[in-house]
Amino acid sequence: MSKVFYGWYIVAASVGMNFYLTMAFGLGFNVFFLPILREFGWTRALTSGAFSLRAVESGLLAPIIGFLVDRWGPRVVILWGVILGGAGMIMLGFINSLFTFYAAFLLASLGMTGAGHGVSWVAAVAHWFHRMRGRALGIAMLGPVIGGPFVVVVALLEGLIGWRTATISLGVGMWIVGIPLALIARPRPEPYGYLPDGDPPKAAPAQQTEEQGSAQDFEFTGFTVAQAVKTREFWVLSSLFAAMFMGISGLMVHLIPMMEDQNYSSAQAASLLGLMFFLSGIGRIASGSLADMIDYRIVLGGLIGFQIVGLLILSAVGPGQFWLAAIFALVFGIGFGGTIPLRPFLIMEMFGARAFGALQGLVQVGAIGAGVVGPVFYGWIFDTKGSYDIAIYATISTILMTIPLTYMLKKNHESVISTH
């Protein structure tokens, strides 16, 4: 019986880690938004400011984390992320002011940035696969898909023991779950006697064509950061994901209060957010697999279309129309989820492996940096207009802006690799 390639254990660990991060903090913390707001009497814009600061922090730290992953390997970075993230969650249970809320929230966010699949896990997975990279990345990023529906568990937990005890419990749980999973991560397959995809080194020369050999050589060299940032593709890619994420970041923070404002229960609102992330798994797996086979520009363009249609459906949802909200979750979930594995796929496709972690972090700076605007903008629109409608239409506009950027990228195998 053939032995399972270790790269798939790394994929499984990524799923497990990001399942818990999503449930406990990435989406789960949205359950605590209104209880915290009610206890302290803060406005939605002021409370949302913590989410925007998280985006600033993550954006600033993403390239640093990328450099650290390239230097020390993903395991060390993920392990420290788990430790700090759990500590931040525990501290959130003891906050008594806006300052302590922001401080604890940012510490938790710091840990989640290091332990999440934004940089660290995708760097590990991308190095362990070549032919099946898109598929492996799509599977590795299924953690939020599985964790999304469990946001309901967090909502029930908050109802049973209160938001303070719930955040402390989730912080301790992060240590219990996260530390063993962090130890599974490895930087590259070569020290363990494998090539990417599990090909044994002794079989590689007989199986490779000259073209495949050149591509694999590039896998181990590729662009430096200085070389990559001088290319048009780097800035197009960064701008594309920044524009796409600007409005989506606000929607993710405010979807639960948006639904509660229409007389849906906290559990129903949390279920919708969880359902959207669960259904995003269709997009994650499909886009990764399709990008291995066809022009990734077509894949990306289709995902943008799903996002726009989904947002138009959301704008029509009213009280007593949970069935329509579920359709939004399906359509938008596919469109949003499918873009997640494409970002690291495109970076590796275009720039190779030499500085993959740093470049993944730098591209993420633009996306997360744009995400600073979204949560506060959504909160400000609601505070001034009493509705989120304008914010939804603004999100549609920013996503429409990404269509021409998509087709400024070159086709698969015509990327900047071929020009160097």
Lowest mean pLDDT among 18-32, 160-174, 268-282, 321-335: 268-282
Band (pLDDT 50/70/90 cuts) for residue 205 is: very low
Residue 1: pLDDT above 50? no
Confirm if 119 and 361 have CB atoms less than 8 A apart: yes
Residue 264: pLDDT above 60? yes
pLDDT of residue 316: 84
Residue 84: pLDDT above 80? yes
Closest CA to 329 of 257, 364, 278, 293: 278
More confident of the two residues 260 and 353: 260
User: What is the widest separation between alpha-carbon atoms in the chain?
Assistant: 69
Cα 411 off chain centre by: 24
Residue 198: pLDDT above 60? yes
Band (pLDDT 50/70/90 cuts) for residue 57 is: low
Residue 222: pLDDT above 80? no
Residue 2: pLDDT above 60? no
Residue 241: pLDDT above 80? yes
Can you tell me the mean pLDDT for 143-169? 85
Single-letter amino acid code for the residue at 69: V
Within 13 Å of residue 194, how many CA atoms lie on the same side as its CB?
19
CATH architecture of 6-197+222-419: Up-down Bundle (1.20)
What are the tokens at 350? Answer: 């275009």
- Percent of the chain scoring above 90 in pLDDT: 13
Query: In angstroms, rounded to a whole number, what is the distance separating the alpha carbons of residues 243 and 315?
Result: 20
Band (pLDDT 50/70/90 cuts) for residue 221 is: low
Closest CA to 396 of 311, 317, 328: 311
Cα 57 off chain centre by: 15
pLDDT of residue 200: 67
